[in-house]
Amino acid sequence: MKPFEYVRVKDARQAAQALGTERDQAKILAGGTDLLGEMKDYLVTPARLVNIKTIPNLDKIEHDDKKGLKLGALVTLSRLAEDKNVRERYTALAQAIDLSAMPQIRNAATIGGNLCQRPRCWYYRDEHTICLKKGGSKCYAVEGENQYHAILGGGPCYIVHPSDPAPALVALGARVVITDGTKTREVPLEQFFILPAQNVRRENILAQNEIITHVLVPAPAPGTRSVYLKEREKDSYDWALASAAVVVTPNAGSVGAARVVLGGVAPVPWRVAEAEKALVGQPLNPATLARAAEAALAGATPLEKNGYKVPLAQAVVRRALSLTMA
Amino acid sequence: MARITELDVNGSREKIDVDAERTLLSVLRDDLDLTGAKYGCGEARCGACVVLMDGRPVPACVTSAGSAAGAKITTVEGLEQDGQLHPLQEAFLEVGAMQCGYCTPGMIMAGVALLRDNPDPDEAEIVRTLEGNLCRCGAYPRIVAAVRRAAGMLRGGGAA
């Protein structure tokens, strides 16, 4: 690992100053579970780490029956999943965390950091492969071993977003609060993530000197059920081959409102409006589930080795929707 | 360069003088001579380095010394009390839950935290909790058996 300077900050303004404006010369340290691994593999070589865990009051879980959840960016995944209110009312989020990484990592990893983690594409993670995402001229997945890559939203790079909580939070309508210590902006989480076509070097809109301070999750409408379901190659400590976060609000025997967001299949949490349209106004019967699943993957364009993800993701969507009735 | 001059390890305040950028694992092993926690993968993927930070198991190989300052650290060396091993350590010995032993300290720290939170975990919960701890010898069945046995010892009022 390249030696670096270590700085502790007390507020967002100090963080912004310490982070500076030169891209990746300084990196934000919170749980460090992704960043330290990246540094050891020389994927990033910052001259400075800015520890934001010393900023007070960003580790709170605040509940309000009307306004919903206000999560400090430094809340660890395990604390979030243990929260009784989160488990009961924001079920998909708790389920997504249960299926993330492993217990020790969940103890250290923060929700803000989880949303900012880098992709797990094996070309990107290989120190010696200079792919598009690292400033190279080529995405090696296109003609290479692409069984774990994107079937939706890919090009020119075909990563999939590695977070499980992110699709759940997008489905629950979360927003993120971002600040550089002077200007604060609140952005729908859905718009926080960006596609490789927009900027192949980044996965989100965070500027070099900005940090996430909070994640806001609106209170679900009465009767709403949410489910997160994930299929992976091995049953422990693995990333999603395909996952789905679904949020369904019933209305007189049929679906009043629905959100369907896919994980593990696209460079960002992939919300599918077509699948949501196929659900609204319909009873949740097998025919509706099949139509929604079909619609969810209608736009898929698999690479040579990841065609299996289409029926897999369809099955995950169908099953997640049926679990909202359980 | 920020320096860390004190770490709370196994109930005692250890005077040190290290760069805050160093990993907690390196400080424990190289400066404090606490070689129980092991360097495995170095990337939080194997669990050999697990120690408790304020009671929670964390991978020490990706925890900076700076983040550990101010927290209460417990390593496998800190489990023994007045010459008595922790019941889970006893159980590991009785069941023979290790071959090479490299994963054992991490397994034990993760297991100790589990037993503190749930004195009667079933097999599925033990497996789920230890999923981040890899055993290359494949001693998993005995490791699970040792956790079950320690749970019985703890419930039976044995030394805690």
Inside any domain, residue A298: yes
Residue A19 makes CB contacts below 8 A (sequence gap 6+) with A26, A28, A50, A208, A209, A210, A211
- Write out pLDDT tens, residues B79-100: 999 999 999 999 999 999 999 9
- B56 and B98 assigned to the same domain: no
Q: Considering only residues A326 and A147, tell me which one the structure prediction assigns the higher pLDDT.
A: A147
- B92 and B139 assigned to the same domain: yes
Inside any domain, residue A156: no
pTM of the entire structure?
A: 0.89
CATH number at A301 reads 3.30.390.50
User: Last residue of a domain, which of B39, B58, B78?
Assistant: B78
DSSP-derived secondary structure for A114-180: HHHPPP--HHHH-TT---GGGT-S--TTSSS--TTS-SSS-SS-------SHHHHHHHTT-EEEEE-
Q: Is the peptide bond before A156 cis (omega within 30 degrees of 0)?
A: yes
- B18 and B47 assigned to the same domain: yes
Do the chains contact at A29 and B64, CB–CB below 8 Å? yes
| Whether B127 contacts chain A with CB within 8 A | yes
- Domains of chain A: total: 1
pLDDT band at residue B1 using 50, 70 and 90 as cut-offs: low
pLDDT band at residue B159 using 50, 70 and 90 as cut-offs: very low
Backbone angles phi, psi at B142, to 5 degrees: -75, -30
Instruction: Find the residue in A nearest to B43 (Cα).
Output: A37
pLDDT band at residue A47 using 50, 70 and 90 as cut-offs: very high
**Is the pLDDT at A281 greater than 50, yes or no?**
yes
pLDDT band at residue A235 using 50, 70 and 90 as cut-offs: confident
**Domain extent at residue B40:** 3-78
**Is the pLDDT at A290 greater than 70, yes or no?**
yes
**Domain extent at residue A275:** 230-323
- Write out pLDDT tens, residues A200-215: 999 999 999 999 999 9
Instruction: Find the residue in A nearest to B52 (Cα).
Output: A104
Pick from A104, A125, A239 the residue to mutate for testing the B interface (most B CBs within 10 Å): A104
- B7 and B70 assigned to the same domain: yes
- Write out pLDDT tens, residues A77-116: 999 999 999 999 999 999 999 999 999 999 999 999 999 9
Mean pLDDT on A154-167: 98
Inside any domain, residue B160: no
Do the chains contact at B47 and A104, CB–CB below 8 Å? yes
**Is the pLDDT at A236 greater than 90, yes or no?**
no
- Write out pLDDT tens, residues B98-127: 999 999 999 999 999 999 999 999 999 999
Do the chains contact at A36 and B23, CB–CB below 8 Å? yes
Inside any domain, residue A182: no
Do the chains contact at B57 and A107, CB–CB below 8 Å? yes
CATH number at B121 reads 1.10.150.120
